[in-house]
Every structure is written in structure tokens, then in C-alpha cells.
Structure 1
Amino acid sequence: MTLPGGRARSILGALALCMGFASQAAAEAASAAPPPRIAMLWSSAPGAGSRIDRWARYRVIVVSPGELGFEWEQQPHKDMATRLRPESIPRGRATLAKLRKQNPDALVLCELYYFEANTSAYPADSPWWFRDKSGRRQEFWKGCRNMAVDNPEYIEHVAQRIDAVVAAGEGRVGVFLDNLRYDPASKQGWNALLARVRSTCSDAPILVNAGWDSEGLDWIAPQINGVLYEDSIAHTQDNDAEAFYARIQRQGRLCREPRVGVNEVFGHRDDPLAARRELIRTLVYTDLCYLFADSTYGHKHDWQAEWGAPLGEPLAPPPTPKPGVLARRAFAGGEVLWLPADAPRSATISLAGPRYAVGQQQPARQLLLNPGEGALLLAEPFVPAAASP
């Protein structure tokens, strides 16, 4: 990708800039336009400042109720509790208030277990465990067992736990549910749980993790506010990235408002090209949040330079991906462009006005994109602050 006019200016070069959290946060706060929607799944990017300072950079934040300060009432088996300790509720609300003060747009989602539970979370003889034909509990991962997600009493129990957290959050907390499954019994259970939760928490945002899957989700999308696509782009059946983005765009439109879907991509921290490529496609093709993380183990990541750019909100719906066709989307603070890899030739594009690559002070009015390249361009210069030594 080249910005014509004078010397070539590489957007990728900006990604090599080191950033200090505190100075970068100040730079972002100076702009009225919000940055791209980035998600945090349990782990925030390293940086200075408090935990709340780090959380406040994200649009969607997935944590446990305990990380907010909420505590369940004591039970011999911890997940049997359906009520929070009254003295913990002010602590949790205070955490939410601090976060909201720093980022009024941040949406917190509390993870509550449904598909699986720790081995000691319920009595060993509970009928709520999923058991094979010989009556043995099934291990999901070490120290964790599958649950009978279609058991009506278990569904009601999980719904009561969700009710307790949503009520304690006073409308500032939604729900994250992991490990969606598609067999008939699982679908029956998920439908029953979501119907029950919507009967008491009709407006609570719900994000569901579909794992690698990005197909066959139309049945659940209208009941939830978003899907977490956990490195789904690397596990499509046809290896067609543009078709993947068309699919998740359509599914996103089926979801409830406010929409909180997340496109998470796994990759190496020293591969800024991959991180930037999927950020651009997420922005131009969808309204989902984005995260580029190491792996499913902790979802750890570094903060990328472009994640703090004052791009602002989109000014139009995303274009539908089409093979070989340039995709372009205007935002309040700039624009995002993507030329699919199967485009027949490079494209020279006239920009809507002077545009700046992240980290660059010189504007451009034209852009040369090769197939498989994209750009995030801003209406005003934005240079991420260098990290303190």
C-alpha cells in the first residue's frame, strides 16, 4: 500500500511505534472521536495505570462478577449460590461507576457458567451434570465437567444467577455465555435459558461464544446481542475470508440492540500485518468489536497503535463484501478501505479529503492499494505517544 504524493508513507511503519499506556490514554482523551471498538476478554493489554485505567480503553469488557467486586453467598458448592452477598453489591457498583466515568460507552459483560462447571461447583451426585450412557461425568477440560444444559431445573438455576448479577449491576452489566453447542438437546436448552432470561432481564446484553463456528447461527442470533467469533476466520470450511465477513455481517444484523459481537483473531504479537488486516476488514465490513490475541488461553494481547486512533463512529452501514471489489466506509473521523486479494489489479483511490495514516503528519489525497491491502486513514493527524523508558 502506498500513499502517493511526495515520499511513500507506510501505515505499517506506524505499528512499530512503542506506546506508554498513560501517555497514549491522554492522547486518545484529547480527541472527541472515539477509537475503533476493541474488546477485552478477561485480560487487558499491559500498561501503566490502575486496572480500571486499562479496562477503560475497551468498548466491550468480559470479566467475572468477582473481578467487579461482587461475591456470591457462601455455599458448600460455590455455584449453588443464586444470591450475591449484600455487602459486596456496593463494591461492584463502585467499580462500574469508576469505569463508566472514564468510558461512558464501555459495556461490561459478566461471565456466568452454563455449558460447563468446575468439578466441585455442584454436588457430585447432582442430576445437573451431563453423563454418558454409563453414568460418568464428561470432562470438558482439566478440572471441569460438562453440564446437562437441557435440564429444566438447571436452566432455572443458571437464570437466577444471571438475574442476580444483572440486578446488582443496575442496568450497567450484561452477560457472557461460553461454549455454544448445536445438537438438538443443546439447542433446546439454550432456547429455554434465553427465553427465561429475557422474561426477567429483557434488555440485558448477552454475548455468546460460538468458538470456531460462523455458520448455522441464525437460530440463536435474534435472541442475543452478539456472537463471539473466536478465531473463526481461521477455521472456515471454504477458506473464503470475504464470505466469512459477509456471513458475520448478516448474522450481526439479526442480533438485538445494542449489538456487542466480537471478531477475535489469534496470531503472534510480532505480526502487525495480520492484526491490522483483520482490524480493517472488521471495521469496513461489520459493526463488531475486534481483538487480536495470542490464543484462547487468557486472550492476552498487546495494545496496537491503530486501536487508539480517533476514527469515530461509522457514517453509513457496512458494504456487503463482494469478490474483487473495493470496500470503502466513511467514519466521523476518517475512512477505512479494503481491496480483496482476488481483485484483478491494484487501485488508485481519490480520498474524500486530506487523510493521515496513523503516526504520520503529512496528509495524502490519493491512495494506492494492491490486492489484499487496506488502509485506516484519519481526518486529523494522530501520533501515538512513545513509551516511557
Structure 2
Amino acid sequence: MKRLYIASLVLATASYGLFSCESKREVKEEKVVQTEAKQKTTVERISARSYPSIFQAWYGIDMPEQYPTETLEQRLDAAAKHDLLWEEPLSQLGEGVDLVLGLEWAGTHDGLSDTFDPESLAKAKANKARLLEKNPNMVLLFEVRWRDAPSSFLPKDSPWWLRNKNGEIEKGWLGGWEPFYLLNYDNPEFQDNVARQCKLALESGVYDGVMFDWSGHLDIIKKTRAAIGQEGLIIVNIHDDIEDGEKYAPYINGSFMELNPIDDKSLEVKGILGGDTNRNGRKWKKMREALTFFESHFQAPVINCLETWGNRDDLSRMRAVTTLGLTHSDGYTLYADPNPLKTPDHYHDWYPFWDVELGNPLTKVTTREDGAFQREYTKGTVIYNEWQNGPVTIQFEQKRKRASDGSVDQTFELDDRDGDIFLSLN
């Protein structure tokens, strides 16, 4: 993931009428314990959620007028609209962005830590309890660094830095608030350390699993699975790379599919990408094929997270990725800013389309005679019409309500690289 520096967030005004963090965070310890006792298991939360299910990748909703995030309580409210999120404190705090849960490693060097800061642990447990009060079906993950990190992550003379033939530490991701340096991820002792920190994250009682960025590393994933057992969740940013999916399938629960599908209409984002429209360029068909493979081969509970970059105003692109996820998976989706933007990655709007009450899937996906894809839910039908399939006509026996515009009819037209939800009226 590429996260760029942002100086500050836009402050919300008092006109929103929301209570401050101080006035709403007066939760007694015994109430937190009682709330934790009532929490569902990870599997129960994944199974009990309704659709669409949206996830938060590090950074959340960027709509300060509608969803202010000045106070902790406001950040919790915004985060709770998602059904899954992950965070990584070293990078996010380095960029000056407030965390949602807020668990931080203790000590001078995060990479050597064997415990969490006690004050942050207490706050993170309380924040988790508040999140689950607002959304009882949320799943919470922690990113553990394995590929690169800022210089403070380890002592300068640590053997766990990757060095060139001159003994100099190799540079990694250069897009952060300071240079990141490559870690010696082929070192067995470092691999053991990553697995150990993953186990600590789950033992904290805050997180349900861990997330690995940068396509992952097989030995690290194997050791992490052994360390956290079968109940802990593991997802990896493998885009739509089926080869990685085949390699990791016995060990992971899901993929982070961070994608930028290229099509004629995607040229509309050229202005905000600075001309770099092909960055992380993918194909809609390959995305669908990979998502189908991941859904059927990963370990239960499967939690694939499908993200497409795009212009926030390109609503058909948003609907396309949302309905692709709804028809071809039981996972989570996100439509977010392209990484080349000069802001932290994965900021996004919240769309009314995501507030639709679709219920739960009744069937697997079917391919229609017109080439579009259809899936039935308890409260409606989802249609995904892939890029280059051409426009299709949707006909129902009874009137339906179209989620995208609220229109009610029995017959609807749907362009390609688009999708929609058609809600039952009874």
C-alpha cells in the first residue's frame, strides 16, 4: 500500500450536533467487560452481516461535512458503517491521521516489541467495544509489517534490515512521510518475529486477524498460520494474481484485491491521476476470474476484500465493483481514490447505494443469456454487467425498485461496466 503525507484533516463544526468524544466515551470498565462478553465470535459476525458489505483499508470516509472525524466518537461512527477494517499504527500515525482502534506497540522500536503500550491497549479494547455496539458484525484486522518499514522500526545495526553488497540498507517504499527501508524477509529469525507479533496482535483481544501488504511471503504466512492457529484470520494483498492465490490457499482466509481496471470510461480519471491511468492496471474479466477462484479455494471463513480505484463521481464504476463483489462473492467491497493522488490512499466517499438493505444471498451467481451476471438475495436481485458486454434489458415478473435511482418498474436498461440492485416491493 502506498500512503502519502497529509497535513491535517478538515475539522468539523459544532453544527452537526454530535456529542464530543469526552461526553460519549464515559464507559465504565464493568460495562466494557459486559459488552465484550456479549460479542459474537468472528465466524458469527461474518455470517450475520447483511449486504452490501463495505470495508475500510487503513483510511476511511473522506466526507467531513456528512461524516466528520474530529473526535474519536465521530471516527467510530464513520468506521462502523463498514463491516471490516484494518489499520497499521506506525504508518498512519506517521502521516498524521488518527486511528480508529489505536493499538500501538510499546518500546523504542516497533519491530522488536513484545507488548503493546498499556494505555493504548486499554483504549483499543474500549474502542472495539464501542464499534461493536454500533455495528455488531464488524471484523477487525491488524497490519503487521514484513516487507519494509521506516528507520525507527529496528535499530540501525539490526541484521533484519535488507542490505546491498556494500552493507547499506536497501530503500523500499519512498512515498511516505519518510523513506521506508526493506526488511530482510528471507531471514528465518525475522520471519519468526513477524509470526510472533501477529500472535501478540490476536492475543491482545482487539483484533480478529492480521493483514499482509505487498503480495505477502509464503514462509511468513506459513509461520503466521502456525502461530495464530486456525481461528485467526489472515488476508494478503494479492490483487487479482491467481498464482499467489494458488500458493497461499492452504493458509489464508482472503485477499485484498487492490485494482485499477482499465477501460474506455476509466480515462475519465486521467485528470486526477495526473495522466497515470494505467497505474496498477487490471482487467475486469481477470478480476472476476480471480475473485471466483479466491472464493472457492481459501480457508473458511473466507473474507475477500475487493477494491477498485476511481474518480469518486464515476458512479457506474462504483456500482460495477460493488455488484461484481455481490454477485461473485460473499465478501466485502470498496470504491476508493487512486493511489497516485497526493493524499493518503484508500480515502473514499460513502454512497447511498451502499446503504441498501439487500439481506443475504439465496443463490450462487448465474450467467444470464445476455451475458450479464445475476444473483438473488432475500430482499432483491443483483445484476452485474461486465465491461464490453454491451447494454442489457432486465425484465421482472413484478415491479421492482432500482437502487441507483429509486425508479419503480418491471423493465430496466443496464449499460456495461455497471451494475444495479433491484429491490423487491413486498
Q: Into which bin does the TM-score normalised by the smaller protein fall?
A: 0.7 to 0.9
Give identity over the alignment, percent: 26
Q: Which residue is 1:302 aligned to?
A: 349
Contact 2:260–2:280 (CA under 8 A) maintained in structure 1: no
* Change in 2 beyond 3 A, CA 1:52/1:114: same
Q: Which residue is 1:71 aligned to?
A: 104
Q: Does 1:101 align with 2:146?
A: no
Aligned CA RMSD, in angstroms, stands at 3.0
Q: Which residue is 1:242 aligned to?
A: 285
Q: Distance in 2 between matches of 1:340 and 1:62?
A: 29
Q: Deviations over 1:10-60 (max 9, x none)?
A: xxxxxxxxxx999xxxxxxxxx98341111112221304611111111011
Q: Which runs of 5+ in 1 are unaligned?
A: 1-19, 23-31, 182-189, 382-389
Q: Structure 1 residue 137: deviation in Å?
A: 1.6
Contact 1:324–1:340 (CA under 8 A) maintained in structure 2: no
Q: Which residue is 1:61 aligned to?
A: 85
> How many residues get paired?
341
Q: Distance in 2 between matches of 1:224 and 1:351?
A: 39
Contact 1:209–1:229 (CA under 8 A) maintained in structure 2: yes
Q: Distance in 1 between matches of 2:17 and 2:325?
A: 24
Q: Distance in 1 between matches of 2:213 and 2:282?
A: 25
Q: Deviations over 1:161-180 (max 9, x none)?
A: 1111101126x421111112
Q: Structure 1 residue 246: deviation in Å?
A: 1.8
Q: Distance in 2 between matches of 1:268 and 1:145?
A: 31
Q: Distance in 2 between matches of 1:222 and 1:323?
A: 35
Q: Does 1:354 align with 2:354?
A: no
Q: Distance in 2 between matches of 1:158 and 1:52?
A: 28
Q: Distance in 1 between matches of 2:352 and 2:385?
A: 22
Q: Does 1:40 align with 2:40?
A: no
Q: Deviations over 1:165-207 (max 9, x none)?
A: 101126x4211111125xxxxxxxx333222222231211111
Q: Does 1:333 align with 2:379?
A: yes
Equivalent residue runs for 1:87-166 within 5 Å: 87-142=119-174, 143-166=179-202
Q: Distance in 2 between matches of 1:359 and 1:232?
A: 23
Contact 2:184–2:190 (CA under 8 A) maintained in structure 1: yes
Counterpart residue type for residue 306 of structure 1: F
SS in 2 for 1:300: coil
1:199 pairs, out of 226, 246, 249, with 226
Q: Distance in 1 between matches of 2:349 and 2:242?
A: 26
Counterpart residue type for residue 74 of structure 1: G
Q: Which residue is 2:304 aligned to?
A: 261
SS in 2 for 1:351: strand
Contact 1:130–1:137 (CA under 8 A) maintained in structure 2: yes
Q: Does 1:210 align with 2:238?
A: yes
Q: Distance in 1 between matches of 2:315 and 2:130?
A: 32
* Change in 2 beyond 3 A, CA 1:146/1:98: same
Q: Which residue is 1:314 aligned to?
A: 361
Counterpart residue type for residue 378 of structure 1: L
Equivalent residue runs for 1:219-298 within 5 Å: 219-231=247-259, 233-234=261-262, 240-296=283-339, 297-298=344-345
Counterpart residue type for residue 38 of structure 1: I
Q: Structure 1 residue 114: deviation in Å?
A: 0.8
Q: Structure 1 residue 361: deviation in Å?
A: 5.4
* Change in 2 beyond 3 A, CA 1:236/1:323: farther
Counterpart residue type for residue 82 of structure 1: D
SS in 2 for 1:219: helix
Q: Distance in 2 between matches of 1:372 and 1:90?
A: 46
When normalised by structure 1's length, the TM-score is 0.78
Q: Distance in 1 between matches of 2:405 and 2:312?
A: 22
Counterpart residue type for residue 147 of structure 1: L
When normalised by structure 2's length, the TM-score is 0.72
* Change in 2 beyond 3 A, CA 1:308/1:86: same
* Change in 2 beyond 3 A, CA 1:214/1:236: farther
Q: Distance in 1 between matches of 2:163 and 2:318?
A: 41
Q: Structure 1 residue 336: deviation in Å?
A: 0.7
* Change in 2 beyond 3 A, CA 1:207/1:325: same
Counterpart residue type for residue 297 of structure 2: L
* Change in 2 beyond 3 A, CA 1:243/1:164: closer
Q: Distance in 1 between matches of 2:405 and 2:288?
A: 29
Q: Which residue is 2:117 aligned to?
A: 85
Q: Deviations over 1:289-322 (max 9, x none)?
A: 1111112342111111201111122112234x69
